[in-house]
Amino acid sequence: MTTDQAYTGRVSTVMHVRCPDLLPEELYRLVLEQLAELSPVVQALPPTAALVELKGALRYHDVGGDAGRLGQMLRVRVLTRHGVDLRIGIGPTISVAATASAQVPEPGGVLVVAPDRAADWLAGLPVEALYGIGPRQADALRDYGIHTVGLLAAVPAETVQRLLGGRAGRLARERARGADRRPVVPRSLPASATVSCTFARHTLDGADVRAALLGLVIQLGRTLRRRGQSPQALTLTLTFAGTGRWSKTQRLPEPSAHDEDLRVAAYRLMDAAGLQRGRLTGLSLRGEELRDAGAVAQQITLDHSREARLVAEAAVDRIRDKFGAGVIGPAAVYRAVS
């Protein structure tokens, strides 16, 4: 029995999708767009997962009510269009579908658990495989001799609640029996985009930090322009040695995803930090309140140097799209190479 042809039967309704770990946010958003083409009820679970309600989708798409075919169609579509393979679990509830997707071996596949077989399928899994059971909870259950999901489902509710706590124990036992009352709630990603970097060693404010910040500006600008979005504000977060963090937000004069506009705002935020001898371990730059770039009014300008920079920026974007992001950029970012 393969993960692509398993446990079919009556129509399942919930799909849980797992993208590869460390998937860039840009690609994750593209996957969510593909899910939205499949069903109007999509719940993003950042950074790399999502839920889809399939009831309406099974009626709309010509798959004969076969949820497995719908999952395969999605997997092939995302793989061919974006080069991202998915691990897809389909079941009658969120917890069954999420447990199933975790059982799909990498790089990807589809596992369907029919509603009338959900409890039996769950019963044979190790207890730590049940969605929602963390390592500490699994250890507590194993210490009591509960090694499988089937044993968890058979133990009296009072015992499980005593081991895991009242609410956690009740939920764990219900999910072990295939029950889960939660609906899929439509939820998109927040209207923001974040890029970050860490330093190999503690770094003082100076040329290295400015170069790293400029690199983030370029990365964020390219990501936003490819999405067709413009931020209305920027947030800079500095992480210091130990547990210290500093964060500040600045609104842009007008929404913009152009490198020069983002650079000016980012440098002003860095100046506002007032660093002297702070030992930095990382930087994070986030574009906030994203808007559709096509809906942003463009101010008329007679600044010929700015117009020239925008033309050059578009040309550089085309070069990066063709040859890779690291082939061209400001000298300050690449000064370590020289």
What is the per-residue pLDDT across 222-253, written as a single tens digit (0 to 9) for each? 988 887 888 989 999 988 887 678 889 999 98
- Burial call 115-143: b when 16+ CB within 10 Å, e when fewer: bebbbebbbebebebbbebeeebbebbee
Indicate the residue type of 256: S
Low-confidence winner among 10-19, 25-34, 257-266, 307-316 (lowest mean pLDDT): 10-19
Check residue 235 and give its pLDDT: 92
| Tokens of residue 122, six digits | 């769950």
| pLDDT of 66 | 86
Lowest-confidence range among 2-11, 86-95, 200-209? 2-11
Please report which confidence band the pLDDT of residue 278 belongs to, taking 50, 70 and 90 as the band edges. Answer: low
| 12-21, 104-113, 149-158, 289-298: the lowest-pLDDT one | 289-298
Question: What's the confidence (pLDDT) of residue 122?
Answer: 97
What 3-state class would DSSP assign to 127?
helix
Answer whether 12's CB lies under 8 Å from 154's CB: no
Give the pairing type, strands 279-288 and 233-240.
antiparallel
Place of tokens 């400015």: 210
Query: Between the CA of residue 142 and those of 131, 132, 146, 160, what are the distances in Å?
Result: 16, 16, 5, 12
Cβ-contact 35, 19 below 8 angstroms: no
User: Is the pLDDT confidence value at 4 over 80?
Assistant: no
- Residue 338: pLDDT band (50, 70, 90) is very low
Q: How many residues does the chain have?
A: 338
